[in-house]
Amino acid sequence: MSKYDVIVVGSGPAGYVAAIRAAQLGLKTACIEKETNKLGKTGFGGTCLNVGCIPSKALLDSSHKYVETKKDLAVHGIATGDVSIDVAQMIARKDKIVGQLTGGIEGLFKANGVTAMKGTGKVLAGKQVEVTKDDGSVEVLTADNVIIAAGSLPIDIPSAPVDQDVIVDSTGALEFLTVPKRLGVIGAGVIGLELGSVWRRLGSEVVMLEALDTFLPMVDQQIAKEAHKIFSKKQGIDIRLGARVTGTKVKKGQVTVTYTDKDGEKQEVFDKLIVAVGRRPQSQNLLAADSGVTMDERGFVFVNDYCETEVPGIYAVGDIVRGPMLAHKGSEEGIMVAERIVGKKVAMNYDCIPSVIYTHPEIAAVGQTEEQLKANGVEYKVGVFPFAASGRAMAANDTDGMVKMIAHAETDRVLGCHIIGPSAADLVQQIVIAMEFGSSAEDIGLTVFGHPTLSEAVHEAALAIDGYAIHMVNKKKR
């Protein structure tokens, strides 16, 4: 029986990062991965690198370049003539990027001395891990510490069973080799919006069916309303709220979707249908009954603020535990756990985790929304600055959206920042850093920002909180 200091179950962003950091700290470490990717190799990197964050961003960037070339270069005086898209080449490029990154993890494992294992891991009693290999053979490993990082899976719904042909999940939506004429998307959340945006840009007529009556309820609603306006009116995505899918029927390569809304039952016919209603923890058959590790009714492993389970020496990180299912959240949890194993007194700041929707314009946020602050009875003040007033955004012909900053009414401490606009994902990171150090809006307002940059919109939003924005007319404070 092989013995390790640390065994990591799962090699997604939480698992592989935990394994690398543990090995860097001098711990004998093994990382187990059960998946084989479409390239026939071990799926190091988990969902994110293989069928999630990275491939979807590759397609988002390709499709954005296509639509920009086709529609938006003329304003710069650039004539292109007829523009076409080779979808197969676009998919091949995406696959090449995935191959490079997953191969890169394998190289990092070797460089850091992590033992990579192909097989399905199951946590047993006594901090033992059973590894079932592809040939059916079983090996039992033992460790001083076990880190569970099994990740998540797309949620299935009975009314739209996935066949990965006509009805697909988020994985299948990355593999279309032709542009669907009519594309349906069940769910108008992060995944649905990103995937719907890809195929809308390439020419699909996209209809999103969202069961909730509120668009992007987790997003600050001023930002969400602006996003709805941009995606529906400017980009032509048909977003139908309060539309609950009740059934689907596939016939002759098309799918008829039945749904209900406030007006009753309706039907739509699509060439492809993407089911994007969220993700669930991949916890089935993960734990032996006597492992001592417990889960809730939804399959999330119980942990405390330090990702410790009820069994000393067994931890869980990433999508398998509470909190947002975000790759960067999982990675930082993995680092925290590895460092706590060697005695470092580190902790995660869960109040400063950024979130991003990689549409164009991007939507990014950190901290609390205005709605959350109202519900909690917190007195606050708001500053908003539109990209339409940004010289850099105007020069780039990319002026949709705004920066919204929220600070405490008395202390001026920054409580949240919400952005829809160009490079929102990178801009919000400035405020993540500021909030991590407890900055006030005045601190940001007193900071020198380069000109002309998109970052100036963040600066101006901070100034606008107290009515001191320079490059727009300030609203009078009551």
Rounded average pLDDT over 162-170:
98
Classify burial at 127, counting beta carbons within 10 Å of its beta carbon; exposed 0-12, middle 13-18, buried 19 or more.
buried
Could you read off the pLDDT of 222-257 as tens digits, one per residue? 999 999 999 999 999 999 999 999 999 999 999 999
Q: Is 451 in the active site?
A: yes
CA end-to-end distance (rounded Å), the chain? 71
pLDDT band at 126 (very low <50, low <70, confident <90, very high): very high
Kindly tell me the sign of the dihedral angle through the C-alpha atoms of 60, 460, 230, 407.
positive
Residue 421 has pLDDT above 80, yes or no: yes
pLDDT of residue 317: 98
List the beta bridge partners of residue 421: 362
Q: Say what percent of the chain tops pLDDT 90.
A: 98
pLDDT of residue 477: 65
pLDDT of residue 475: 84
pLDDT band at 344 (very low <50, low <70, confident <90, very high): very high
Cis peptide before 361 (omega within 30 of 0): yes
Specify whether the CB–CB gap between 199 and 286 falls below 8 A: no
Residue with tokens 């309303």: 225
Q: Say what percent of the chain tops pLDDT 70.
A: 100
User: How many Å is the maximal CA-CA distance in the chain?
Assistant: 72
Residue 159 has pLDDT above 80, yes or no: yes
- List 64, 360, 418, 451, catalytic entry: 451
pLDDT of residue 430: 98
pLDDT of residue 476: 74
Could you read off the pLDDT of 28-76 as tens digits, one per residue? 999 999 999 988 889 999 999 999 999 999 999 999 999 999 999 999 9
Residue 308 has pLDDT above 70, yes or no: yes
Q: Which domains does the chain have, with CATH numbers?
A: 3-154+280-348 (3.50.50.60), 167-277 (3.50.50.60), 352-464 (3.30.390.30)
Cα–Cα nearest to 146, from 130, 170, 169, 168: 130
Residue 1 has pLDDT above 90, yes or no: no
Residue 478 has pLDDT above 90, yes or no: no
Which are the contacts of 37, defined by CB distance < 8 A and separation ≥ 6?
43, 50, 51, 98, 102
Rounded average pLDDT over 314-332:
98
